């Protein structure tokens, strides 16, 4: 039902009241740095008496993404949401080998820091803190811990939380300095100044360019996807999703809810129900197979399963679909479907392992500005979110927040095709 988002029907007074309610959204500055999981209905309740568009979208959100995790609005929320989501996802995947690979990879990124001239004794304590969380994650998987409370505790500890966030900030800054051609066009100031004033200082909230760089430089290679859901006043009944890691298929995805100036984490409803028929198909067919032709059939089946990753990327995926009466399968992670991936991961950027090696090779011969690899191709599919469509977060222009006159009507549900960011 399209709750008839008929703005014309709203009186001037009502519009002003809704705008006021939107503008008055204040992120929580009191609670814990990272909350426990809670029902997304709390978000819907915040908007129950607000603009019908926001009320509709948040009600919808509570169905598609029934749980959320609130980040303290202390200027670190976006950074903390991504860092927490990264470790939580690693824990949820429960793949010890992957955790170890990620630890090695993240530590190898020290080479970025070295190449932009940071002294090790200034950054090693941050890396130590990150390493400690890796160790705790690994231990929790080993112990078979059922929940992620160890992570919630660690991220609520001021020192380790700050240290991990600082580590990620420094990696992002170094990554941007080493790949300036990807970001420069989107900045309103020289890149070095941007890093010094918008990325590295404590408690500076992440913006769209910084978030894209954090994902590009630190998260993406892990195979973990990052998706943002924008709660804005654009047309439609769903929050507007945007995937920041769209150039490669993701084994699991961190989902962030963005409201002006603030990020929280969202958790999607388990897609189990909708996966089941497909999986059953595969199982049914496989079970009738003689071994010699299994491979061939797998291939055939794959053409059906091809759609899964794409379906998974669709936020509206199956939410309206009826519950299958025969869903005997336990939750099936999309990850094992990897043989059926649409395409292999694309190496958009130098693998950090490679750059580590090459940085050693050139460490004496080159200056930091020499790129390790050719500039990353700026493909449309890798484009960062169109900034023109994003609400401004400048505090001196409060009216821009969720202002229907300013917001673009809609962000496409598909990949962005417009020029990324602002020109």
Partner 1 sequence: MGSQKRIAKELHELVESPPEGITVKLADEDNLYEWRVFMDGPEGSPYQNGKFQIKLVLPTEYPFKPPTVSFATKIYHPNVTNDDKGSMCLGMLRPDEWKPSSKIGAVLQFARQLLAEPMPDDAIEGRIAEQYKNDRKHYDEVAREWTRKHAS
Whichever of 69 and 167 has its CB closer to partner 1, that residue is 167
What is the Cα–Cα distance from 353 to 196, expressed in whole angstroms? 26
Q: At what angle do helices 272-287 and 294-305 cross, to 10 degrees?
A: 160
* Binder among 126, 134, 263, 340 for partner 1 (CB under 8 A): 126
**Least spacing, CB of residue 362 vs partner 1, in Å:** 23
* Binder among 154, 163, 176, 206 for partner 1 (CB under 8 A): 163
**Least spacing, CB of residue 203 vs partner 1, in Å:** 7
Any contact of residue 124 with partner 1 (CB under 8 A)? Answer: yes
Whichever of 44 and 163 has its CB closer to partner 1, that residue is 163
Tell me the two tokens of residue 118.
């940071």
Cβ atoms within 10 Å, residue 221 = 23
Helix, strand, coil percentages in the chain from 3-state DSSP, rounded to 5: 50, 10, 40
**Least spacing, CB of residue 295 vs partner 1, in Å:** 52
* Residue 14 C-alpha from the chain's centroid: 35
* Binder among 158, 287, 303, 374 for partner 1 (CB under 8 A): 158
Any contact of residue 29 with partner 1 (CB under 8 A)? Answer: no
Any contact of residue 122 with partner 1 (CB under 8 A)? Answer: yes
Cβ atoms within 10 Å, residue 103 = 18
Q: Which of 231, 238, 230, 229 lies closest to 3 in space, CA to CA?
A: 238
Whichever of 56 and 162 has its CB closer to partner 1, that residue is 162
What is the Cα–Cα distance from 195 to 189, expressed in whole angstroms? 10
Total interface residues for partner 1 by CB under 8 A = 22
Whichever of 128 and 347 has its CB closer to partner 1, that residue is 128
Any contact of residue 372 with partner 1 (CB under 8 A)? Answer: no
Any contact of residue 123 with partner 1 (CB under 8 A)? Answer: yes
**Least spacing, CB of residue 129 vs partner 1, in Å:** 6
Any contact of residue 162 with partner 1 (CB under 8 A)? Answer: yes
**Least spacing, CB of residue 34 vs partner 1, in Å:** 17
Identify the DSSP state of 334: S
Restricting to residues 82-121, which ones interact with partner 1 according to CB under 8 A? 118-119, 121
Q: Which residues is 224 bridged to in the sheet?
A: 252
Beta strands in 13-169 (DSSP E): 34-39, 67-71
Cβ atoms within 10 Å, residue 214 = 27
What is the Cα–Cα distance from 218 to 216, expressed in whole angstroms? 6
Contact 151/137 with Cβ under 8 angstroms? yes
Any contact of residue 159 with partner 1 (CB under 8 A)? Answer: yes
Cβ atoms within 10 Å, residue 243 = 21
Whichever of 65 and 169 has its CB closer to partner 1, that residue is 169
Restricting to residues 196-255, which ones interact with partner 1 according to CB under 8 A? 196-197, 200-203
Q: Which residues bind partner 1 (CB under 8 A)?
A: 118-119, 121-126, 128-129, 158-159, 162-163, 166, 170, 196-197, 200-203
């Amino acid at each position: 039902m399209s709750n008839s988002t008929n703005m014309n029907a709203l009186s001037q007074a009502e519009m002003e009241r809704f705008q006021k309610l939107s503008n008055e959204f204040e992120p929580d500055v009191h609670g814990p740095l990272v909350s426990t999981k809670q029902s997304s209905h709390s978000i819907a309740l915040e908007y129950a008496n607000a603009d019908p568009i926001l009320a509709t979208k948040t009600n919808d959100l509570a169905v598609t993404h029934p749980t959320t995790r609130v980040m303290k609005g202390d200027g670190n929320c976006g950074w903390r949401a991504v860092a927490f989501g990264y470790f939580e996802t690693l824990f949820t995947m429960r793949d010890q080998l992957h955790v170890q690979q990620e630890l090695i990879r993240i530590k190898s990124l020290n080479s970025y820091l070295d190449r932009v001239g940071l002294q090790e004794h200034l950054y090693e304590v941050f890396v130590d803190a990150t390493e400690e969380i890796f160790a705790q994650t690994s231990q929790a998987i080993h112990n078979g811990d059922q929940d992620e409370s160890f992570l919630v505790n660690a991220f609520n500890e001021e020192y380790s939380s700050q240290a991990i966030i600082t580590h990620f900030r420094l990696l992002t800054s170094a990554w941007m300095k080493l790949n300036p051609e990807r970001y420069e066009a989107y900045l309103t100031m020289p890149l070095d100044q941007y890093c010094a004033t918008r990325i590295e200082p404590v408690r500076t909230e992440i913006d769209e360019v910084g978030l894209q760089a954090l994902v590009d430089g630190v998260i993406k290679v892990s195979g973990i996807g990052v998706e943002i859901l924008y709660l804005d006043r654009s047309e439609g009944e769903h929050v507007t999703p945007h995937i920041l890691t769209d150039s490669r298929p993701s084994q699991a995805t961190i989902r962030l809810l963005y409201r002006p100036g603030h990020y929280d984490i969202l958790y999607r409803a388990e897609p189990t129900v909708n996966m089941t028929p497909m999986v059953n198909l595969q199982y049914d067919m496989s079970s009738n197979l003689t071994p010699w032709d299994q491979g061939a059939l797998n291939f055939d089946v794959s053409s059906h399963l091809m759609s899964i990753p794409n379906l998974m990327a669709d936020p509206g995926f199956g939410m309206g679909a009826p519950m299958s009466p025969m869903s005997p399968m336990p939750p099936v992670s999309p990850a094992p479907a990897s043989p059926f991936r649409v395409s292999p991961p694309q190496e958009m950027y130098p693998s950090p392992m490679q750059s580590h090696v090459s940085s050693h090779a050139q460490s004496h011969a080159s200056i930091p500005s020499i790129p390790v690899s050719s500039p990353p191709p700026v493909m449309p599919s890798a484009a960062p979110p169109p900034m023109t469509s994003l609400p401004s977060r400048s505090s001196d222009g409060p009216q821009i927040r969720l202002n229907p006159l300013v917001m673009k009507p809609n962000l496409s549900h598909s990949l962005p095709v417009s020029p990324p960011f602002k020109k």
